[in-house]
Structure 1
């Protein structure tokens, strides 16, 4: 790699680190490109050579986090027995969100169609490819967990919708600060365990129902 290219990547990394730091210090949607440039010690005009808009910066951070999380989940799945894989992966996903709730909120924001419509075509394609990677991983996880079921890709997508709804609910609960203000509070760790049990029970029941449908075997 040319020295010029190395310097470009290094500068980009500094900008991303600066944005992550600022997002933890103040509302992320109010941070400006000028503030990111100042934090990174880089001229504002130079920032636009890497990220043409604040949306492009958001997208890059969301893509980086989602790819890193997917890599962690794949590694976890590879080291777990099939009967434990689903539970460990779901639980780990919740822990990842809790560890970095600000970036988790940013990822949720970047998943909105209205947001992605403002991105250029190559960036939108990266989100589509990442979504396919997650769907493929979820399908592998389902087949490993329910190896007595024959699930087609459409079945896996159907089941993923339910899991996504639960995950979004957990993300919203983390963003709200947990349950300390409730009359009968529950620790987030215990909450994660109960939601995980709920998801697995739902997946098991729905997978059995789908496999019982004649159309599934045509």
Structure 2
């Protein structure tokens, strides 16, 4: 790699790390590009050579971490027996968020339509591409978990809607700080176990119901 390319990458990494540190300290909408540049020790004008907007910088933080998580989940799905893969992958996805509550907050913001509307097209396209890759992984897990049912693509999509709803609920719970403010706080690790069990039981029941539906309508 050329020196100029290395320097460009080093500056970009410094900006991403500076933004992550600032977002941990205060709300994202209060952080300015000037503050990010100052935290990274880089001129404000240089920031725009890397990111066209604060939303783009924010999106890059999320996209990079989601790609890292996806690689880990794919490897995990191949390292365990098919019957266990779905549960292990879902539980690990929760652990990834629990280990990085800021990522949960960032993901929730990037999901907002208003944020996506302000985001530059190349970044929106990256989110769509990455979403497709996650869907492909979970679709594969569903096909392996319920191979005897021979689920259609439409069946898998219906099941994935439920998984997504549960994942988003856990994401919001982690982003909000867990249950410490409750009168009787719940231990997050136990909560994640129960939610994972709920998802697996729901998938099993719904998959069987979808398979039986044509017979019931005859």
Over residues 54-107 of structure 1, what are the superposed CA-to-partner deviations in whole Å (9 max), with x where a residue is unaligned?
A: 111111111111111111111111111112111111111111111111121111
Give 1:112 shift: 2.0
Instruction: List gaps (5 residues or longer) in structure 2.
Output: none
Q: Does 1:26 align with 2:26?
A: yes
Q: Distance in 2 between matches of 1:34 and 1:178?
A: 32
Question: What is aligned with 1:154?
Answer: 154
Question: What is aligned with 1:43?
Answer: 43
Instruction: Name whichever of 177-186 and 198-207 sits farther off.
Output: 177-186
Instruction: List gaps (5 residues or longer) in structure 1.
Output: none
Instruction: Name whichever of 145-154 and 135-144 sits farther off.
Output: 145-154
Instruction: Name whichever of 111-120 and 59-68 sits farther off.
Output: 111-120
Instruction: Name whichever of 185-194 and 206-215 sits farther off.
Output: 206-215
Over residues 189-208 of structure 1, what are the superposed CA-to-partner deviations in whole Å (9 max), with x where a residue is unaligned?
A: 11001000100011111111
Q: Distance in 1 between matches of 2:152 and 2:113?
A: 27
Instruction: Name whichever of 170-179 and 6-15 sits farther off.
Output: 170-179
Q: Distance in 1 between matches of 2:141 and 2:91?
A: 14
Secondary structure at 1:148 match in 2: helix
Instruction: Quote the RMSD (CA, aligned, Å).
Output: 1.6
Q: Distance in 2 between matches of 1:74 and 1:52?
A: 32
Question: What is aligned with 2:202?
Answer: 202
Between Structure 1 and Structure 2, how many residues are aligned?
215
Give 1:172 shift: 1.8
Question: What is aligned with 1:123?
Answer: 123
Give 1:19 shift: 0.9
Q: Distance in 2 between matches of 1:31 and 1:45?
A: 16
Q: Distance in 1 between matches of 2:121 and 2:162?
A: 29
Q: Distance in 2 between matches of 1:180 and 1:116?
A: 31
Q: TM-score, normalised by structure 1?
A: 0.93
Give 1:42 shift: 0.3
Q: Distance in 1 between matches of 2:64 and 2:37?
A: 20
Q: Distance in 2 between matches of 1:152 and 1:169?
A: 26
Give 1:168 shift: 1.3
Over residues 14-67 of structure 1, what are the superposed CA-to-partner deviations in whole Å (9 max), with x where a residue is unaligned?
A: 111111111122223321111110111000000011111111111111111111
Q: How does 1:1-218 map to 2 (within 5 A)?
A: 1-214=1-214
Secondary structure at 1:213 match in 2: helix
Give 1:161 shift: 1.1
Give 1:176 shift: 2.7
